[in-house]
């Protein structure tokens, strides 16, 4: 075994040892379980907590369990948890000394999950907690792990906070792994649009994971680091194996390639304008020009690019798919804004298209590329963030380029 593999295995063993010694119940351990569960890992069942539910940390620990479909509890337990939760309404959520559940994000997440999933919690007390979350959105510093985790808690009750990627060139490993985990929590990340380059993030995670000086403070951070590093390493190995065997890339990498093509599309268009001795060139005058150029770029990376596949009828009509990458379950739809196709109309068309593609047997992911050379989209970031999410059985990614507003 080479030195890198040995170092990586040593880091993972240290983290597993930390997790195996974690006490229960505690918000840190409960959050670690929640992270593992979201990553598809099977976990041993925690014993039912029967005492000390009057304490917010213990109450929050059980709140995480309510998010697990397999959570088993005795008759009357829901009412007990709900009654203790309701008593929190009498406490000051924002004391001067900041010693409350609101300022402890792992507790806040557990309470929000419990309020969301415990069937005995009535709507009035959910609204009470939503009000606390709404009042607290400006009380935490943007871009800190605490604020990101609290924003995730708020999202469980459909309260949206503004977020930003932590500033600085070298965030610690647990912070990078937190970003990695949050980016895969689609209901949280998609509406808010976490802004970072995924490949860069994964590279930084692997680099720091192999450094002995990376400090892991508790089991919550250990779970984040374990899940993120395992995911990144597995993806790297899979891509390398497929490349070595001369096989097509996987669906995840296929989407990355298409996103990269879309992201660089305006650069390519500008490069084509400057030909030697002013020779004739391709100009993007309408949607067909965009389709032609984008289709040619797709064929650089994919052998099987199928144009104009018919989608099943929707509302009595049929529609054509611009490009189908059947091997990857990926459809690429192209739009170009014009005088009669502004942001509002683009949204209307894409909403209809998304409904159509949900019935397409070969479409698992829909990539919608909106070419907006004149900046007719008044708020392109909102267009991307509002539609980029899972719609029923379909994953949708919307990209507007260039981003002129």
Note whether 265 and 77 are within 8 A (CB): no
Q: Where are the domains of the chain?
A: 3-244, 251-401
Question: pTM (2 decimals)?
Answer: 0.60
What is the pLDDT of the chain when averaged over all its residues?
85
Please tell me the predicted confidence (pLDDT) of residue 216: 80
* Mean pLDDT computed over 172-192: 78
> How do residues 269-301 score in pLDDT, each as one tens digit?
988 887 777 778 878 999 999 999 999 999 988
Note whether 220 and 177 are within 8 A (CB): no
Other C-beta atoms closer than 10 Å to the C-beta of 138 total: 10
Angle at 121 between CA 117 and CA 123, to 5 degrees: 100
Confidence of residue 107 (pLDDT cuts 50, 70, 90): very high
Please tell me the predicted confidence (pLDDT) of residue 208: 80
Confidence of residue 315 (pLDDT cuts 50, 70, 90): very low
Matching residue, tokens 């240290």: 14
Domain 251-401 is found in CATH 3.40.1350: yes
Of 100, 191, 187, 192, which Cα lies nearest the Cα of 143? 192
Percentage with pLDDT > 90 across the chain: 49
d(CA 399, CA 258): 10
Helix, strand, coil percent values for the chain (each to nearest 5): 55, 10, 35
Confidence of residue 245 (pLDDT cuts 50, 70, 90): very low
Please tell me the predicted confidence (pLDDT) of residue 212: 53
Per-residue tokens: 294: 């984008």
Of 165, 178, 182, which Cα lies nearest the Cα of 222? 178
Please tell me the predicted confidence (pLDDT) of residue 217: 82
d(CA 80, CA 54): 10
Please tell me the predicted confidence (pLDDT) of residue 316: 47
d(CA 171, CA 247): 36
Note whether 63 and 42 are within 8 A (CB): no
Q: Quick one: how far is CA 226 from the chain centroid?
A: 18
The helix-helix angle for 123-136 and 145-155 (nearest 10°) equals: 150
> How do residues 18-35 score in pLDDT, each as one tens digit?
777 888 999 999 999 999
> How do residues 122-172 score in pLDDT, each as one tens digit?
999 999 999 999 999 899 988 899 999 999 999 999 998 888 777 666 788
Percentage with pLDDT > 70 across the chain: 84
């Amino acid at each position: 075994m080479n030195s890198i593999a040995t170092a990586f295995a040593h880091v993972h063993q240290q983290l597993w040892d930390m997790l195996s010694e974690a006490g229960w119940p505690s918000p840190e351990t409960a959050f670690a379980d929640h992270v593992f569960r979201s990553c598809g890992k099977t976990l041993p069942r925690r014993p039912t907590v029967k005492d000390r539910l009057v304490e917010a940390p213990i109450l929050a620990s059980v709140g995480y369990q309510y998010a697990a479909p397999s959570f088993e509890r005795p008759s009357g337990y829901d009412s007990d948890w709900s009654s203790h939760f309701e008593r929190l309404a009498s406490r000051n959520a924002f004391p001067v000394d900041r010693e409350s559940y609101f300022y402890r994000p792992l507790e806040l997440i557990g309470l929000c999950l419990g309020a969301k999933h415990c069937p005995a919690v009535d709507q009035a007390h959910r609204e009470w907690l939503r009000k606390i979350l709404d009042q607290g959105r400006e009380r935490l510093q943007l871009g800190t792990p605490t604020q990101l985790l609290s924003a995730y808690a708020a999202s469980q009750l459909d309260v949206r906070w503004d977020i930003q990627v932590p500033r600085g060139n070298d965030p610690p490993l647990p912070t990078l792994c937190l970003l990695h985990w949050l980016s895969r929590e689609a209901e949280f990340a998609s509406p808010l649009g976490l802004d970072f380059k995924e490949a860069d993030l994964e590279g930084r995670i692997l680099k720091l994971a192999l450094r002995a000086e990376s400090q892991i403070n508790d089991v919550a951070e250990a779970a984040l680091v374990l899940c993120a590093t395992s995911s990144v390493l597995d993806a790297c190995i899979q891509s390398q194996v497929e490349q070595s065997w001369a096989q097509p890339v996987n669906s995840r990498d296929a989407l990355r390639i298409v996103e990269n093509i879309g992201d660089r599309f305006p650069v390519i268009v500008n490069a084509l304008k400057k030909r030697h001795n002013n020779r004739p060139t391709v100009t993007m005058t309408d949607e067909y020009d965009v389709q032609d150029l984008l289709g040619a770029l797709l064929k650089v990376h994919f052998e099987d690019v199928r144009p104009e596949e018919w989608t099943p009828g929707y509302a009595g009509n049929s529609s054509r798919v611009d490009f189908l990458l059947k091997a990857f379950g990926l459809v690429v739809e192209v739009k170009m804004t014009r005088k009669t196709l502004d942001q509002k109309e683009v949204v209307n068309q894409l909403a209809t298209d998304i409904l159509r593609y949900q019935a397409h047997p070969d479409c698992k992911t829909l990539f919608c590329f909106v070419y907006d050379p004149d900046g007719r989209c008044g708020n392109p970031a909102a267009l991307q963030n509002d539609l980029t999410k899972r719609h029923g059985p379909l994953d949708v990614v919307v990209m507007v380029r260039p981003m002129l507003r």
